[in-house]
Amino acid sequence: MTSDLEQKAVPLCYPDNFDWVTELGTLVKKTESRGKLVVCEDALDILRSIDGLISPIAVTGLARCGKSYIASELIEPRPDECVFKMSNKMRPLTTGIWINTVPFKKRLENGTEVTVVVMDTEGLCAYDAHTPYDVQIFTLISILSSVMIYNSKGTLTAEDIKMLSLVDTLDQVIKGNNYSDSRNAQTKDFIQFFPNFMWLLRDATLNFSFTEDEEDDEDDEVDIKDYILKEVLKLEEEDDKTPDHTIQKNRQREALLSYFPEFDAMTLSMPSHKPKVLAQMGLPGTRKRLSSSFNDGVDEFIERCGKLMKPKKAWPYVGNIHGKQFAELVKQYVANFDFEGQTLDVHAAGAKVLDELLFREQEEAYKDYCKNMDSFAASELPCENRKIATKHKECVVEALDKFTERTECFNAADLIDRQRKHLQDRCGRVDEDKISGGYLRAIIEKNKQKSKEYCTNLARQLVEEHLRPFTSESGPRKSGISADLNESIEHVKKLYNHQGRGPRKDYVYKTEVTEKIAEIAETVKRRKSRTEGRNVPEADGAKSEAVNVESGEIEERERFRKQILEMKQNVEQHIRRLMREDVERQKQQSDDDNKERSEAIAKKIQQLYKTHHELAKQLQMINTELSREHETLIDELTKKYQRRMTMSEKSQ
Ligand SMILES: Nc1nc2c(ncn2[C@@H]2O[C@H](COP(=O)(O)OP(=O)(O)O)[C@@H](O)[C@H]2O)c(=O)[nH]1
Ligand SMILES: [Mg+2]
């Protein structure tokens, strides 16, 4: 990127007949014919760096209707000049979906802190038939944003609402949790994950009036939201003779009204009547030249959008997502959009993201464990196995905690549990009272090897230094070496006991020292009997040693076995506690989700009751069903958790 100051927006995804040149901060056209969308890693990096919850707000609508201008106004602190590239004359400038390079934090009305990312999108095609690109971009922002702003300009009639048919295509494009064709099943999915909706009408000069004028008798200003509900989205009566296109229009209106949990609308007046001022909108310092009613309207619009904001949730798991998950979702959604078939399996993409991210966190925690164990091994090996086991326990608990901390934002207790088990096994698998696998097993093996090398060197060195001199004719001469063989054997034994390290200490003593002692003692005895002509008693140190040494080894092994058992119990206990916390957290999150969604739908039902009675009733049913599903989910979660607890207790 050139610099943060210069580069205020980057494409999140763009058609693949362009190249994103980071250094220039522009898209460079390669070929004329437009290809499918690809993601831009620079933008994904920005999203990945967002630690907390995320609330993306997207602006869509026809080209050259002031989308980029208003998208920029949503950024905090309010930029002095337009952050997104603006269209001039007849040439729309936004290609694909763009985001601001500096997402900002915002506290929502309920106190939740989110990071807001503004998405400016390429204009939808102005013709009746929607291009596959329109469908793809519109689908992407429908599932990626938590507030969608539909920006239109001028008059508002049912015929103008081209976007309606795009909303209606979503149930064919998006394959959600329910693969059924039923509209209700789709609505149930959509309403849980879809953004809130804001219809923004620019240059609104018309005085809206209702066709049946009971409501505006006194020339009251008509609220655009009421007007849209009562007039634009009014459902026409249907009977046997109703033409297909009317039925289709009704379905489109229903889709718009039921998929988005909250619905709001407002108007903005003309910013200025001077073409020159209009043309310069978005340049530094030009805001003050716009009409105060327009500027006030923009302020109100920003405030109302703030009320619609909510943390982004991802299919198929309930719960809010963080920047890192969001970035992966963008990647998967863009890559998995079937351009030919015009479909997107959000369930599969979402599950894949979750699996991959959980695996990645597990891998990170495992790498940390290995690093800690390696640095311990580098400084401590060879050592007693018990010391390794103690260190292992400390490191495995740390890795499990780290994994838990980093997966707190994933609302899938059983998937987390599976990865945690995997992590535990990869660090050190304990079967019964034995370390049967994992990195710990490798460290134990390494320790054995190191212990053997170290003790062999030590033994050889001690024998060379203290005992070998007895085999020469003149006996020990070096200072500090006792003239008596038995005394020297005792001394070697003491030194070896003191300096020898690790699990092969006793084995090496037996193979290297005991045998050498016997050999040396024999040589000394033979030489003495030759020179003194009588029987010399055998050096004591030789055989009794092996027995003592062996019994020490057995004790050590027993202590180690007990330690492994205790360690296994402790780690399992720790895991049970973490798992309980995961489940509690998920239950809490699901409760919050259920409450939030229920309230949003209830508000919508109230809003629709007068104008769309049947639809309101259907939404009521959907809401009840979703609450029931929530109860089932909590039940299943509790059962799964109890089963896992019993299994874990039994295994001890
Ligand atoms: N009439 C009018 N023009 C606007 C408004 N907002 C922006 N413009 C101008 O319309 C042109 C296109 O704006 P832009 O934001 O790039 O539109 P986009 O193509 O929808 O993103 C620019 O010349 C703006 O100065 C508005 O509310 N009313
Ligand atoms: Mg634009």
Q: Per the domain annotation, does 1 fall within a domain?
A: no
The pair phi, psi for residue 462, each rounded to 5°, is: -65, -40
For 433-458, the DSSP string reads TEEEEHHHHHHHHHHHHHHHHHHHHH
Which residue's alpha carbon is at the smallest distance from atom 19 of ligand 1?
Answer: 64
Instruction: Identify whether 132 is preceded by a cis peptide bond (ω within 30 of 0).
Output: no
Residue 2 — very low, low, confident or very high, per pLDDT cuts 50/70/90? very low
- In this prediction, residue 555 has a pLDDT band, given cuts at 50, 70 and 90, of confident
Closest residue (by CA) to atom 6 of ligand 1? 66
CA of 91 to the centre of ligand 1 (A): 12
| 346: amino acid identity, one letter | V
Together in a domain, 317 and 459? no
Per-residue pLDDT band for 180 (boundaries 50, 70, 90) equals low
Q: 378 vs 178, which has greater pLDDT?
A: 378
Contacts with 609 (C-beta within 8 Å, 6 or more apart), sequence order: 616
Distance 321 CA to ligand 2 centre (A): 28
In this predicted model, what pLDDT tens digit does every residue of 299-313 receive, in sequence order? 999 999 999 999 998
Predicted confidence (pLDDT) at residue 288 exceeds the cutoff of 90: yes
Q: Is 111 exposed, middle or buried (0-12, 13-18, 19+ CB in 10 A)?
A: exposed
Indicate the burial class of 472 (C-beta count within 10 angstroms; 0-12, 13-18, 19 or more).
exposed
What is the whole-number distance in angstroms between the Cα of residue 88 and the centre of ligand 1? 8
Do 263 and 363 reside in the same domain of the chain?
Answer: no
> Which residue range forms the structural domain that includes residue 32?
9-342
Ligand of minimum distance to the alpha carbon of 72: 1
- What is residue 432's predicted lDDT score, i.e. its pLDDT? 80
* Ligand 1 near 94 CB (within 6 A): yes
Q: Residue 201 carries which side chain, given as an amino acid letter?
A: L
Range of lowest pLDDT (282-286, 514-518, 577-581): 514-518
Q: How close are the terminal C-alpha atoms of the chain, in Å?
A: 55
Within this chain, do residues 360 and 441 fall inside the same structural domain, yes or no? yes
- pLDDT at site 205: 74
Q: Which residues is 322 bridged to in the sheet? A: 53
| Predicted pLDDT at 402 | 95
Counting ligands in written order, the one closest to the CA of 202 is 1
In the structure, what pLDDT confidence band is assigned to residue 126 with cuts at 50, 70 and 90? Answer: low
Q: Cα separation of 103 and 631, whole Å?
A: 36
Whether residues 333 and 358 fall in one domain:
no
Q: Which residues contact 112 (CB under 8 A, 6 or more apart)?
A: 53, 311
Q: How far is CA 93 from the centre of its chain?
A: 33
Question: Does the beta carbon of 202 lie inside 6 Å of ligand 1?
Answer: yes
Asked if residue 638 is part of any domain, the answer here is no
**Does residue 588 lie in a domain region?**
no
Per-residue pLDDT reduced to its tens digit, 58-90: 999 988 899 999 999 999 999 999 999 887 766
The reply to whether ligand 1 has any atom less than 6 angstroms from the CB of 286 is no
281 within ligand 1 shell (Cβ under 6 A): yes
- Check: CB of residue 47 under 8 Å from CB of residue 327: yes
Using CA atoms, how far apart are residues 496 and 512, in angstroms rounded to an integer? 11
User: How far is 79 from 104, CA to CA, in rounded Å?
Assistant: 12
Q: What distance in Å separates the CA atoms of residue 90 and residue 64, rounded to the nearest whole number?
A: 8
One-letter amino acid for residue 650 of the chain:
K
319 and 367 fall within a common domain:
no
Give 386: exposed, middle or buried? Use CB within 10 Å, 0-12, 13-18, 19+. middle
Cα 575 from chain centre = 21
- In 124-239, which ranges are E strands? 147-153, 174-175, 196-202
651: in domain = no
| Contact between residue 272 and residue 73 where contact means Cβ atoms under 8 Å apart | no
Cβ(297) – ligand 1 distance below 6 Å: no
Locate 557 and state its tokens.
């092994």
User: What pLDDT digit, counting tens, does each position of 588-638 carry?
Assistant: 988 988 998 999 999 999 999 989 999 999 999 999 999 999 999 899 989
User: Do both 331 and 447 map to the same domain?
Assistant: no
Compute the distance between CA of residue 226 and CA of residue 267 in angstroms, rounded to an integer: 12
Number of domains the chain contains:
2
Whether the CB of 267 sits within 6 Å of ligand 1: no
Is residue 128 pLDDT above 60, yes or no? no
Q: What predicted TM-score, i.e. pTM, was given to this entire model?
A: 0.83
User: pLDDT grade, residue 370 (50/70/90)?
Assistant: very high
64, 82, 84, 291: residue to mutate for ligand 1 pocket, most atoms within 8 A of CB: 64
Ligand 1 atom at minimal distance to the Cα of residue 268: 27
Q: Cβ(66) to ligand 1 under 6 A?
A: yes
Question: 432: Cβ–Cβ under 8 A, 6 or more apart, which residues?
Answer: none
Nearest bound ligand to CA 287?
1
Helix (H), strand (E) at residue 501: none
- The least confident of 272-276, 518-522, 524-528, 608-612 is 524-528
Protein residue closest via CA to atom 8 of ligand 1: 66
Burial class (CB in 10 A: 0-12, 13-18, 19+), 441: middle
Sign of the Cα pseudo-torsion (277, 281, 284, 285, in order): positive
CA of 289 to the centre of ligand 1 (A): 15
Same domain assignment for residues 355 and 327: no
**Mean pLDDT confidence for 489-503:** 91
- Give the C-alpha separation, 410 to 398, whole Å: 19
Quote the CA–CA distance of 633 and 639 in Å, as a whole number: 10
Encode burial over 322-348: b for 16+ CB neighbours within 10 A, e otherwise: bbbbbbbbbbbbbeebeeeeebbbbbe
218 and 116 both lie in a single domain: yes
pLDDT score of 4: 42
- The tens digit of pLDDT for each residue in 527-550 reads 777 776 555 455 454 444 443 445
What is the whole-number distance in angstroms between the Cα of residue 263 and the centre of ligand 1? 24
Q: Classify residue 617: in a domain, yes or no.
A: no
State percent of the chain over pLDDT 90.
Answer: 55
Q: Is the pLDDT of residue 207 over 70?
A: no
The reply to whether 426 and 408 lie within a common domain is yes
612 lies in a domain?
A: no
Mean pLDDT of the chain: 87
By DSSP bridging, strand 196-202 and strand 263-267 are parallel
pLDDT of residue 114: 97
CA distance 428 to 426: 6
pLDDT of residue 161: 66
Is the CB of residue 85 below 6 angstroms from any atom belonging to ligand 1? no
pLDDT for 652: 66
278 with 400, same domain: the answer is: no
Q: Any idea what the CATH number is for the domain that residue 46 is in?
A: 3.40.50.300
- Written as six digits, the tokens of 506 are 């006793």
Q: Which residue has the tokens 């507030």?
A: 147
Helices (H), 381-437: 385-407, 413-427
What SS3 class is residue 70? helix
Give the H/E segment covering residue 104.
strand 104-107
- Residue 502 located in a structural domain: yes
- Which residues, in sequence order, are CB contacts of 164 under 8 Å at separation 6+? 249, 252, 253, 255, 256
Q: Which ligand is nearest to the CA of 151?
A: 1
Cβ atoms of 509 and 463 within 8 Å: the answer is no
Residues of the chain with pLDDT > 70, as a percent, come to 88
Asked whether residue 99 falls in the same domain as residue 157, the answer is yes
Task: Answer whether residue 91 shows pLDDT above 90.
Answer: no
The answer, yes or no, to whether residue 327 has pLDDT greater than 60, is: yes
**Which CA distances in Å does 66 have to 240, 271, 313?**
43, 11, 28
- For residue 220, pLDDT over 50 is answered with yes
Residue nearest to atom 7 of ligand 1 (CA): 66
Cβ–ligand 1 contact at 122 (below 6 Å): no
Among 342, 366, 397, the domain boundary falls at 342
Residues 501 and 549 in one domain: yes
pLDDT of residue 3: 42
Average pLDDT over residues 444-456: 96
CA dihedral 468, 471, 475, 478 (to 10 degrees): -20
Whole-number pLDDT of residue 162 = 66
Residue 79: the pLDDT is: 95
Residue 594 lies in a domain: no
Q: pLDDT tens-digit profile of 226-261?
A: 988 988 888 989 899 999 989 988 988 999 999 999
Helical (H) or strand (E) element with 127:
none
Instruction: Give the pLDDT of residue 1.
Output: 41
Three-state secondary structure string covering 289-349: HCCHHHHHHHHHHHHHHHHHCCCCECCCCCCECEHHHHHHHHHHHHHHCECCCCEEEHHHH
Adjacent-strand bridge partners of 28 = 19
Whether 213 has a pLDDT exceeding 60, the answer reads no
| Range with the poorest average pLDDT among 3-17, 219-233, 322-336, 478-492 | 478-492
Domain final residue, candidates 312, 342, 372? 342
250-277 b/e (C-beta count within 10 Å ≥ 16 → b): bbbbbbbbbbbbbbbbbbbbebbeeeee
CATH code at position 510: 1.20.1000.10
Q: How far is CA 98 from CA 12, 67, 346, 516, in A?
A: 5, 12, 21, 79
- Of 507, 542, 570, the last residue of a domain is 570
